[in-house]
Structure 1
Amino acid sequence: MSRRQAREMALQVLYAVEMGKTEAGQAFEHIRESFGTSAKAEKFSRELVEGTLQHIEVLDEVIKKLSKRWDINRLATVDRNIIRLALYEILYRDDIPPVVSINEAVELAKVFGGGEESGRFVNGILGQMVKHPEKYKPEQSS
């Protein structure tokens, strides 16, 4: 399983947690059956989910700043979780270059996004973060 597949798994878990009001562990157990997971990829996926959920309030505040004209609750659930996942990587994972996080998020949005323009929307939001981190980066993201 590649890192892209691990991100897909993480996205599905985040979506299930938000929509199904289930715990991440239960969602992983259910979703893992659909993936041929290696231990390394599953570990990476779990790290992404746990980190995203741990920092979700901060991530949502950043999304609110970045999407000035959109209420965060009006964003498609899939798009919102793709952006959360990528922002977690950008803000909290020094081992992943921001350009990789953005590219992966755009690819996820193209496949799973809430509409035809999801890839462009996700790219625009995350691009702002990387272009102007001083405007959007929370103080406690280190």
Structure 2
Amino acid sequence: MAQEKAMSRREAREAILSVLFSYGYTPEKSAEELESERVRDFGGREDPYITEATAGVLEHLSEIDALIGASAVGWTLSRISRVSLSILRLACFEMLFRPEIPPLVSLDEAVELAKTYDDDNAYAFVNGVLNRAMQSEEVRRVARG
């Protein structure tokens, strides 16, 4: 039996984006239910980071949304597209709770996700919000270790 190739971190982020996007429409579902749907949708491919990041975003959603709200000047969370909001939530989770991932890497990956999955101008919005988030004391404290 051939061993399946491991997911790249970018592929894992795409899978997480799918789960978080679904969560925006079905917030009553648990992280486990969302994860099982994701595994089914991605042909059974698994990666521990997907489970960890998805659960982490949902566990720390209020902190993450507070950072997004403070960084998205002039925007409420309800005005942000669901795709962009899902991308921002993942990137902010990484910035706040994954100190081994440099914030600039999270920002760059988020911009690439926005270019691929959101409208033509979303990447600039995502870039601006995450640039502001990177300047926040919370993110700077995590980045310093």
TM-score bin, normalised by smaller chain: 0.7 to 0.9
The gaps in structure 2 that reach 5 residues or longer are 1-6
Aligned to 1:125: 129
Q: Percent identity?
A: 35
Match of 2:89 in 1: 84
Whole-angstrom CA distance in 2 between matches of 1:93 and 1:37: 25
Deviations 1:67-94 (A, max 9, x none): 1211111100111111011001011101
**C-alpha deviation, 1:38, in angstroms:** 5.0
Quote the Cα distance in structure 2 between the aligned partners of 1:126 and 1:43.
25
Instruction: Provide the C-alpha distance between the structure 2 equivalents of 1:58 and 1:31, rounded to a whole number of angstroms.
Output: 24
Determine helix, strand or coil for the equivalent of 2:41.
coil
TM-score by length of 2: 0.84
Question: What SS does structure 1 have at the residue aligned with 2:100?
Answer: coil
Q: Aligned equivalents of 2:117 and 2:22: distance in 1?
A: 14
CA offsets, 1:48-80, max 9 Å, x none?
111111111011111111112111111001111
What CA deviation, in whole Å up to 9, does each residue of 1:111-142 have, x standing for no partner? 112x2111111011101122x223xx28x978
Tell me the residue number matched to 2:17: 11
Q: Determine the structure 2 residue equivalent to 1:31.
A: 38
C-alpha change, 1:11 and 1:86, in structure 2 (3 Å) is: same
Displacement after TM superposition at 1:110 (Å): 1.0
Output the CA distance in 1 between the equivalents of 2:98 and 2:33: 25
1:89, 1:96 within 8 Å by CA — same for their partners in 2?
A: yes
Using the alignment, how far apart are the partners of 2:8 and 2:41 within structure 1?
14
| Secondary structure at 1:33 match in 2 | helix
Residue 33 of structure 1 and its aligned partner are, at CA, apart by 2.4
Aligned partners of 2:39 and 2:45 also within 8 Å: no
Mapping for residues 1-142 of structure 1, pairs under 5 Å? 1-21=7-27, 22-36=29-43, 39=46, 42-113=47-118, 115-130=119-134, 132-134=135-137, 137=138
The CA distance in 1 between the partners of 2:37 and 2:69, in whole Å, is 31
The 2-side partners of 1:108 and 1:49 are apart by: 16
Q: Is the CA contact (8 Å cut-off) linking 2:84 and 2:122 kept in structure 1? A: yes
